[in-house]
Amino acid sequence: MSDFDVVPVAVGVLVVVAGALLANYLLKKDKSKSGGGKSSGGDAKKAASSQLRTLMDPQEKYMLPLIEKEELSHDTRRFRFGLHSGEHVLGLPVGQHIHLSATINEELVIRAYTPVSCDDDKGFVDLVVKVYKKGVHPKFPEGGKMSQHLESLAIGDRIAFRGPSGRLQYLGGGKFSIKKLRKDPAQIYEADKVSLIAGECCLRLSRRLYLFRWRLWM
């Protein structure tokens, strides 16, 4: 083989090597942006644990102010409550709920609700509530005690939040933590497909499942 034959071969080898090095660099750069593939889940958990959470103790009550009220229909309202700061999240795992409590006509009333806002939302939590008004339904002449109390709140009024509550928690990636009884240890279950009945916590769960699948596609 002459010197003239060696030159094209050497150039070709250099091009292949340079291409491989460039591809390796781009792959490493892409992995560093996405959190390194499988390790991104751990990074997400670390980020979540470092967030400022409002619901730190499920046995404590946290007085949160009403900051916004929206009329969605003739008997349905969206109530927005402010958190401790603009950087706080509520701290409610997907699949769980909160309890509101208030003294109404000298009676302690406690009701369970599931926010419609995402737990990534900072500074506020949204509840969509149907107001059961007094004198509308013959079987319930007094109406809903808590829903009417919420309707009566003025901007700036506070109500007690407590949570997280519930025996089910969605962990992501098709994994669920479930307690058969409240005091039982949690068992981990994994599902390939999940059927949901649209309502409160299921809406939040379906949103989280959608976001998880969207990240896989991307």
Instruction: Find, among 100, 108, 25, the residue nearest to 61 by Cα.
Output: 100
Task: Output the pLDDT for position 193.
Answer: 87
CA 135 to chain centre: 37
Confidence of residue 204 (pLDDT cuts 50, 70, 90): low
Per-residue model confidence (pLDDT) at position 195:
78
CA distances 67 to 80, 82, 155, 158, 159, Å, are 6, 6, 5, 9, 12
CATH 2.40.30.10 domain extents, the chain: 52-165
Whether 167 has a binding-site annotation, put simply, is: no
User: Got the DSSP string for 129-148?
Assistant: EE---TTTBTTBTT--HHHH
Using alpha carbons, select from 193, 214, 215, 204 the residue that is nearest to residue 41: 215
Strands 52-53 and 88-89: parallel
Query: Which of the four pLDDT bands, split at 50, 70 and 90, describes residue 47?
Result: low
Q: Is 170 helix (H, G, I), strand (E, B) or coil?
A: strand
At the top level of CATH, the class of 52-165 is mainly beta
Q: What is the pLDDT of residue 24?
A: 52
Contact predicate 92/115, CB 8 Å: yes
- The rounded percent of the chain whose pLDDT value lies above 70 is 68
Q: Is there a binding annotation on residue 130?
A: yes
Q: Is the pLDDT of residue 99 over 80?
A: yes
Residue 137 exposure: Cα atoms within 13 Å on the Cβ side: 9
Q: How many CA atoms lie within 13 A of 202 on its CB side?
A: 6
List the beta bridge partners of residue 126.
Answer: 80
Q: Would you say residue 11 has pLDDT above 80?
A: no
Q: Residue 10 belongs to what H/E stretch?
A: helix 3-34
Answer whether 0.75 is exceeded by the pTM: no
For residue 147, say whether it is annotated as part of any ligand binding site: yes
Q: Is residue 111 a known part of a binding site?
A: yes
CB 186 within 8 A of CB 177: yes
> Residue 1: which pLDDT band, with cuts at 50, 70 and 90?
low
Beta bridge partners of 137: 140
Question: How far, in Å, CA of 140 to CA of 134, rounded?
Answer: 8
Cα 112 from Cα 83, distance rounded (Å): 18
113 annotated as ligand-binding: yes
| Average pLDDT, integer, range 61-82 | 97
The pLDDT value recorded for residue 146 is 98
180 known member of a binding site: no
Ligand-binding annotation for 145, yes or no, is: yes
